[in-house]
Structure 1
Amino acid sequence: MLFAVSLNFAQIQKWFERDPSPLQSVGDDFYKTFDQLVDHFDNTNTKTFKQRFLVNSSVYKNGPLIIMLNGEGTLGAATLAGKYSINYFAEEMNGFMVALEHRYYGESKIDPEMKDMQYLSSKQEIADISKFIPYIKEQYKLKDNKVIVIGGSYTGNIAAWARIQLPFAIDAAIATSGPAMGILDFDRYMKHAQEQFVKITSTQCYHNTTVALTALNKLLVEDPKQFKTLFGLTTEMPDEPTAEDIQVISSYLSTEIIGSIQYYDAPNYDNNGYEGTLQIMCNKFLAPLTRKSTEAEIISSYIANVQPLNIYGELTYKAFIDQLKNPTADSFNTRAWLWQTCTEFGYYQTTDSKQMWGDKQTIESNIKMCYDAFFAEQYQDPDLALTTAYLNDMIDFTNAWYGARNAPRTHIYYTNGRVDPWSELAVVQGLKWTDGQYVGDCVTEWIDNGSHCTDMYLRWKINDPVRERQLNKLKEWLM
C-alpha cells in the first residue's frame, strides 16, 4: 500500500505496518485472487499469476468503486476495516471498497523464490490496475460506477500516475505523500529530517543526540570492540568491520529517530492530548541527564532509551546482501522494494559531515548495494561506473515517462505533511509552473504538523477537516 521508504540500508519501513490499531476485518472483507497477466507488454506471453485483493461492500449503495492500492508490503486483512480514509469516503459516498495487493509483494508473487524480478515495475503495476478494474466491475456488477483510486507514499505515486495514464478507467485519485520524482542522490531527505528534528525538539535534545551520534560513529571506526561493549551486542558484528560494514551499522544508529520523524505523531493528533512522538522520545533520553552530563553518560542514555542494536540481527554488510540475494519469507518485500529503487527510482538518502547523522551514508555505498544484490552476477563493474550510469538512465527514464512534477493532470488530490522528508520530491502546494510543477485541475494541500501519509489514518483526528475537503472535491469531480 504505501511506500516504504528505503531509509538507507537499515531503515526499510512501511507506514501501513506501523499503525498499532488491532482492528479486525468486517463485512465480506477477505482475500480473493485475480488471474493477472505476468507481462502486459509482451502479447506473446499469456502467463498469469494470482494477484490478491480484498472486498468490503458493507456500506455499498450504488456509490463509486473505491480502490485502495497496497504498496511495498503484504496486504493486511484489516485494510478495509476502519483504519484508513477509504472507509470514511465509502461511508459518505455509499462506496464499494476494494484493496489490491501489488505484484511481487505479500502473496502476489510471480516467482515464489523472488529470483526473477524482471516483471516488477510501477509500469507493470499500473497495467495491472487497468486489467483489474474491468474485472471487478464485471464481477460485482459495477459497470456504470465511477472509480476512485487511493494511495500513499509509493502508491500515492501509483494512484496519481494511474489517473493520468488511465483517465478512461479512473475518475479521480487521492495521492498522499507520493515522491513524484525519482532521484539518485536524495540528500535532501536527511537534511529535511534534521531541520524538522531541530524545529520540533528542544535544544538540549538536539545537542545531546548530536553528541551521541558523533561519538558513536567515531567509535565504530576507531574502536569497534569498545563499540560492541557499549551496546552489549549479542548479535554478530566483526571486530574489524569493513567500510561496507560500517555503512550498514552506522545507518542503524539513527533508525529510530528517522522513523520517529517520518512517522511523527504530532501533539494532540488524536484530539486526546497525545504528547508527541519525538517529545516522548526526547523526554526518555534526557530524563537521566543534566546539562553537566558527560559524553559517556549521554551515550549510555542514548543506547538505553533511543537506539538499541541487538534487535537488528547480524550487523554485517554481507548478511544484508545475502538476505537480499536469498530472501526468506520475512525479507521478500525488502528485496522487491530495493529492486524497484535500483531499477526505477533511486531515492538514496545520503549524509555528510555537516549533519548530525554522520557521513557514512554515501551515494557510492548505495550504488554498491544495488550492484552486489542484483547485478554482480551479470557483469563486472569494479569502479561501479556501469551501475551508476544504469541507475541514472533508469531514473531519467522514470521521470520522463511519468512527467515528474510537470505532467498534464486532472482530478487528483495531493496531500503532504510538512514534517515528512519525502515531501521534498512531491507535488506540493505553493510550487508553480515557473518552479517546474504543473497542477492543472487538481488540488495540493500541506498538512502543517503532518508526517508521512497522516491524512490516511482515521486515528489522526486533527486531519478530519482535510478528509472532509477531499470528500467534497471527490463529489465535485464525480458529478
Structure 2
Amino acid sequence: MANSPKPTLSLLISLLSLLSLFPPTLSSAPKHAPRFLGKFSRSNNKGPLGAPRYKYETRYFDQTLDHFSFSDLPTFRQRYLINTEYWAGPDRRGPIFFYCGNEGDIEWFAANTGFVWELAPRFQAMIIFPEHRYYGESMPYGSFEEAYKNATTLAHLTAEQALADFAVLITELKRNLSAHACPVVLFGGSYGGMLAAWMRLKYPHIAIGALASSAPVLQFEDIVPPETFYDIVSHDFRRESISCFNTIKDSWDVIESEGQKNNGLSYLTETFRFCRKLESADDLSNWLSSAYSYLAMGNYPYPADFLMPMPGNPIKEVCRKIDNCPDGMSILQRIFEGVSVYYNYTGTVDCFNLDDDPHGMNGWNWQACTEMVMPTSSSKNISMFPAYDYNYTSDEEWCLENYHVKPRPTWITTQFGGHGFKNALKSFGSNIIFSNGLLDPWSGGSVLEDISETIVALVTENGAHHLDLRPSTAEDPDWLVEQRAAEVKLIQGWLHQYFEKKKTVFDM
C-alpha cells in the first residue's frame, strides 16, 4: 500500500455534510471528495430532497456584509424560512427555535431537520431556518459568480460573520415582533452544529441553549488524532464484514496498477461506467473514497435520501454486494457492485459523472482553505484507505494556487477554544447538548462525555450523522427514541429555568 495514491486536500475538503470538512495532499481538486454537505453547496437541490415537506414562509433580510468594520460595503439579502403556526406569541413568551444554517441551500436543511418541526407544536414555538451567507440564495454582491469571483469577494465567508448574521437577525426579528422576552433555542447539525455550539458560547445573551448534533468542534490542530475520521469509516465497514473491508483495502493497489497500463484508464472507465474517460486513476480512487465516507455518514437504520437514495444500513448492503459476487469476478467488478449501492441504488443512472460542480469552486473549499483547517490522515494498519500522513505544506500550496490565500490552522481554536476545551466549557459555558452516533466518522472530533451538569454528551453506539435531527419514523429504533426524549427533557429544563427567572424578576 505504500505506493497507493493519496487522497487530495479537496477530497477531504469535500468531506459534509453537510456538512461535512477536510484533508490533505495534492495539487488537483477532485470534486467528489467528501465534504460535510459540500455537494449541495451551490444548488437549490430541487427534486425529492428540495421539495418543501413543511410549511414555511420565505423572507429576506438586508444583512451587513462585514459586521466587524465600518467599511462602506454593500448589504446582501439573507434568505430565511419562518413558521409561526404554533407560536404562542410574544405575550406568552413563546420560544423561538432557530436552526443555524450551514454550507448549503437552507430549504434542503429544513426538509431534513424534522426534529425541530416536530417539537414546535409541543413547545408552541416559532421556527426559523436562516441561510448561511454565500450559500443558496444568500449571495453577497448579487450573484454566485460575483460572490465567488476572487479572494477579495470571498473574504467575508467566515464562521464569525455567519454567527454575527444570526445574532443580528434574531435581534431584529425579536424587535419587530415585540418578542424581546421570547427565549431562543439553537439547533444545528454537522457544521451547523458547530455554529450552534459556538453561538451559545459567543452570544449567550442571544440564546438560552443549543443542540449541537454531530458537531466536530475538536477536529482542529492536534486535539484529536488526524487519522480519526478514516479510522471510524474503516471500522464501520470492518464491523459488517472483514472480507469486505479487505477487498476495499486491496483495491487501491489494483486501481493504481491498472491505471498505469496502456489501456488501463479506458478499462477503468468502462468497468465503473463513467460518462467520460478517466484522466487518472486518482480520480477513481477519490470517487470511491467519497462514497465510502458518505456511506458511513449516512449509515442510518432505515432507508433515507439524505445524501443519496440509500437503503437502511447501507454499509451492510455494500458489503453484501461485494461478498456475494460470483467466484471469478474481479476485485474491481466487486468494488463496482458495492459502490453502486451509494451512487445508483435506484438503478436509474446509465453512466456516472465525476464532476458535480462545473465551476470547480464551492464555499466549503474556501472555508477549508482559510479557517476550517482540519488535519486528516489515514493509518497504515487500521484504515482501509491508502495510508498517508497529514501534510500542511501541501494544503497551503493547494490553497495558494486555487484561492491565493494561506490557511490559518490555529484561528478557530483561538476564537472558539479547543485546547483545554473541557475546562473552558466548564468554566464559561452552559446549556449545550453534544449529540453523536459512534458510526458517524465526525463523532471522533466531537464532545463525547459530559462536561458539566448543563453541558451534556448524548452518545449512541449505532447512530450516524445527526440522525437525531432527522424526522421521526415508525422504523426508529428504541435507542433513537430515547435519545430524542433525553434532548426534549433537557430543552424543557432550559425553558423552565428561563421562565422561572423571568417570573422571579416580574414578581419583584
Counterpart of 1:187 in structure 2: which amino acid? E
* Aligned alpha-carbon RMSD (Å): 3.1
Say yes or no: does 1:450 pair with 2:430.
no
Gaps (5+ residues) in structure 1? 315-319, 379-386, 431-437
Q: CA shift at 1:11, angstroms?
A: 2.2
Say yes or no: does 1:148 pair with 2:185.
yes
Taking the aligned partners of 1:193 and 1:257, their CA distance within structure 2 comes to 7
Say yes or no: does 1:419 pair with 2:442.
no
Gaps (5+ residues) in structure 2? 1-15, 24-29, 305-310, 345-350, 497-508
Who is 1:434 aligned against? none
Q: CA shift at 1:361, angstroms?
A: 8.1
Q: Given the alignment, which residue of 96, 107, 115 partners 1:76?
A: 107
Who is 1:208 aligned against? 247
Q: Given the alignment, which residue of 470, 484, 493 partners 1:467?
A: 484
Cα distance change, pair 255–3 in 1 and its aligned pair in 2 (3 A):
closer
SS in 2 for 1:135: helix
Counterparts of 1:296-375 in structure 2, within 5 Å, are 297-306=330-339, 311-313=352-354, 328=359, 335-354=362-381, 355-359=383-387, 363=391, 365-375=394-404
Contact residue 211 and residue 434 of structure 2 kept, 8 A: yes
Who is 1:381 aligned against? none
Cα distance change, pair 224–189 in 1 and its aligned pair in 2 (3 A):
farther
Deviates more, 1:260-269 or 1:9-18: 9-18
Q: CA shift at 1:130, angstroms?
A: 1.4
Taking the aligned partners of 1:397 and 1:339, their CA distance within structure 2 comes to 15
Say yes or no: does 1:172 pair with 2:209.
yes
- How many pairs were matched up? 426
Counterpart of 2:165 in structure 1: which amino acid? D
Q: CA shift at 1:207, angstroms?
A: 2.5
Say yes or no: does 1:3 pair with 2:18.
yes
Question: Percent identity of the aligned residues?
Answer: 21
Contact residue 102 and residue 192 of structure 2 kept, 8 A: yes
Say yes or no: does 1:59 pair with 2:86.
yes
Who is 2:75 aligned against? 48
Q: Given the alignment, which residue of 288, 294, 301 partners 1:253?
A: 288
Who is 1:133 aligned against? 170
SS in 1 for 2:332: helix
Contact residue 65 and residue 146 of structure 1 kept, 8 A: yes
Q: CA shift at 1:178, angstroms?
A: 0.7
Counterpart of 2:19 in structure 1: which amino acid? A
Q: CA shift at 1:370, angstroms?
A: 1.8
Q: CA shift at 1:142, angstroms?
A: 2.2
Counterparts of 1:100-111 in structure 2, within 5 Å, are 100-111=130-141
Cα distance change, pair 15–455 in 1 and its aligned pair in 2 (3 A):
farther
- TM-score, scaled to structure 1: 0.80
SS in 1 for 2:128: strand
Say yes or no: does 1:229 pair with 2:257.
no
SS in 1 for 2:247: helix
Cα distance change, pair 341–470 in 1 and its aligned pair in 2 (3 A):
same
Taking the aligned partners of 1:24 and 1:117, their CA distance within structure 2 comes to 30
Taking the aligned partners of 1:403 and 1:260, their CA distance within structure 2 comes to 30
Runs (4+) off by over 4 Å: 15-23, 307-310
Taking the aligned partners of 1:228 and 1:268, their CA distance within structure 2 comes to 34
Q: Which string of whole-angstrom CA distances, capped at 9 and with x for unpartnered residues, describes residues 368-395 of structure 1? A: 33222111xx7xxxxxxxx4xxx3xx22
Who is 2:413 aligned against? 399
Taking the aligned partners of 1:82 and 1:303, their CA distance within structure 2 comes to 29
- TM-score, scaled to structure 2: 0.76
Taking the aligned partners of 1:231 and 1:237, their CA distance within structure 2 comes to 6
Counterpart of 1:371 in structure 2: which amino acid? L
More strand by share: 1
Taking the aligned partners of 1:86 and 1:257, their CA distance within structure 2 comes to 29
Contact residue 156 and residue 177 of structure 1 kept, 8 A: yes
Counterpart of 2:161 in structure 1: which amino acid? Q
Deviates more, 1:165-174 or 1:83-92: 83-92
Q: CA shift at 1:192, angstroms?
A: 1.8
Say yes or no: does 1:477 pair with 2:502.
no
